[in-house]
Amino acid sequence: MEGAFAASPSMALKRMSPFQSKEASPPPRSPAFTTKRGYDVLRYPALNKGLAFTLEERQQLNISGLLPPCFLSQEVQVLRVLTNFERQTSDLDRYILLMGLQDRNEKLFYKVLTSDIERFMPIVYTPTVGLACQQYGITFRRPRGLFITPHDRGHVETLFKSWPEAVIKAIVVTDGERILGLGDLGCYGMGIPVGKLALYTACGGLKPQECLPVMLDVGTDNETLLKDPLYIGLRHKRIRGQAYDDLLDEFMQAVTSRYGRNCLIQFEDFANANAFRLLNKYRNLYCTFNDDIQGTASVALAGLLAALRITNNKLSDHTILFQGAGEAALGIANLIVMSMEKEGIAKEEAIKKIWMVDSKGLIVKGRASLTTEKQRFAHQHEEMKNLEDIVNKIKPTALIGVAAIGGAFTKNIIMAMASFNKRPIIFALSNPTSKAECSAEDCYHLTEGRGIFASGSPFKKVTLPDGRTFFPGQGNNAYVFPGVALAVVSCGIKHISEDVFLTTAEVICQQVSKKHLEEGRLYPPLASIQEVSLKIAVKIVEEAYSKNTATFYPEPENKEAFIRSQIYSTDYESFLTDSYTWPKEAMKIQTGKL
């Protein structure tokens, strides 16, 4: 047989496009490409097609005897996965099933995810990913991503060189200190970057081989984990101070040294003490954003803008009270101020319309130990601690929960909101579901259907005694970060401004129809999230070129077509067609370099 991927030399020459470089053609015949090389193809998820390999492909890859003599199309393989999915008895088991598929067959994994994103997102992302992180010692099967520790100081860049992909365009990094509303999960927090990047591809179309999850394991202060024999991270208290900062600095420098200044670095689930200062430290030096601060802000603002179409007034007409004053609350509040300024009111007036409650009560001027970020929203008022009393005193038109205190919005609080608002806005945004401030059912029933509700975790539809049915809107960050990432990597944005997230919120709001609003939805259905991500990316790219923040030239005339051309395809490619572009992975396997 001539070569591993061509039936004859003439076929190989025929397949080579005049626009391809010599590196794009199949490698020359090599006796080293034996059955072992074909076996490696089956073990490499980016190339493996399982029983979908055709007879000719099996013969040319020397894998005929390594597979059962059955041929299944990708559609039948999806059906097979769905059958197994339904047989699982818990969401955690379903998570393990899907992650195992991702490790074996990447194309099939994303084909399954995109076949019904509304069904599978709660498994690979919130709320199930929170449980998966808590149980990561049990669910861990195969290393996915890089684990960087303080012991790697001085040679972090070497770790990136050990990663098999030379081209990385997006990284999601966490140190595991504040995973969702669950707190410090240390190394177990790796489930979050893995899940986020799965949605980068499923919702935004980024190529999975160009995405890299990273865990900065600096220890954990979680005593339960330190005593857990199954814990897979460093068994000591978290390092802090200069040693921590030095590791972060080296990490950021290593990323740009290895992958370039255009590599997107998304910070995820860092504790409040680090989240803001790291964002402020790096935002003008690197291509980076913090999803908990900026992504959450964008999706929450999108929900508020959609709610305005129900209340029929402006954002600056509202008084907004936050239960929580951490990175999510402050991020949302700052973006709300930007949106109000865009309506035409002064920044100082916008700030006065926002109130916050933290663990010590209402944030007011003169209260001790307020951070710089909190001081911005401290107003002249008496100190108060009880949330119900605060609600009755401030009389907000919108109540937003982001403190991860399950049930914080009690029956009395919800009824109070309904008593002084015709259409009270109540957002229970904390994750996972157990941390939600109230349920959709409580909100709709206690407000007699007048409440405008959104949540961070998914809730089922609610039917009231009068027959009206509401479909709660899920303020999921997945509406934001895939589209933002797609835009950033498509046009080479080097620094991500707050305007990007304001634009994103406005685009998401525009995708909510009148019918959606009547059903109680403040967000477009998750089933349309790929198109939403595309529209976000197109708008951001248009603004980037108009503001000269894009770095990839020439500027594409048709930006939507340009972005669509870069989106990852979940369909199998044939190794034998004339139009086939020989994958770098296949060439590496053939030459024994993978």
Which residues have CB under 8 Å from 467's CB, separation 6+?
none
Burial class (CB in 10 A: 0-12, 13-18, 19+), 304: buried
Mapped onto helix, strand or coil, the DSSP state of residue 428 is strand
Cis previous bond, 554, omega within 30: yes
Helical segments of 32-151, H only: 35-43, 55-60, 74-87, 91-104, 106-115, 117-124, 128-134, 136-139
Q: Which two tokens stand for residue 395?
A: 């009389």
In one-letter notation, the amino acid at residue 389 is D
Kindly tell me the sign of the dihedral angle through the C-alpha atoms of 320, 322, 328, 330.
positive
Q: Which two tokens stand for residue 268?
A: 């995820």
What are phi and psi for residue 375, nearest 5 degrees? -60, -30
Q: Is 196 a catalytic residue?
A: yes
Per-residue burial over 94-130, b if 16 or more Cβ lie within 10 Å, else e, is bbbbbbebbbbbbbbbbbbbbeebeebbbbbbbbbbb
Q: Is 125 a catalytic residue?
A: yes
Distance (Å) of CA 280 to CA 176, 277, 284, 499: 20, 5, 8, 16
Kindly tell me the sign of the dihedral angle through the C-alpha atoms of 435, 441, 446, 450.
positive
Q: Length of the chain, please?
A: 594
Which residues have CB under 8 Å from 131's CB, separation 6+?
91, 92, 95, 432
Which residues have CB under 8 Å from 100's CB, separation 6+?
141
Crossing angle between the packed helical segments 74-87 and 106-115, to the nearest 10 degrees: 70
Question: Using CA atoms, how far apart are residues 461 and 453, in angstroms rounded to an integer?
Answer: 12
Distance (Å) of CA 70 to CA 37, 79, 108, 289, 440: 21, 16, 17, 47, 48
Question: Using CA atoms, how far apart are residues 430 and 456, in angstroms rounded to an integer?
Answer: 6
Catalytic residue among 196, 353, 374, 539: 196
Q: Which two tokens stand for residue 101?
A: 């598929």
Q: Which two tokens stand for residue 242?
A: 């200069």
Crossing angle between the packed helical segments 498-510 and 481-491, to the nearest 10 degrees: 120
Catalytic residue among 95, 125, 200, 282: 125
In 3D space, the residue among 406, 390, 392 whose CA is nearest the CA of residue 355 turns out to be 390
- Catalytically active residues are 125, 196
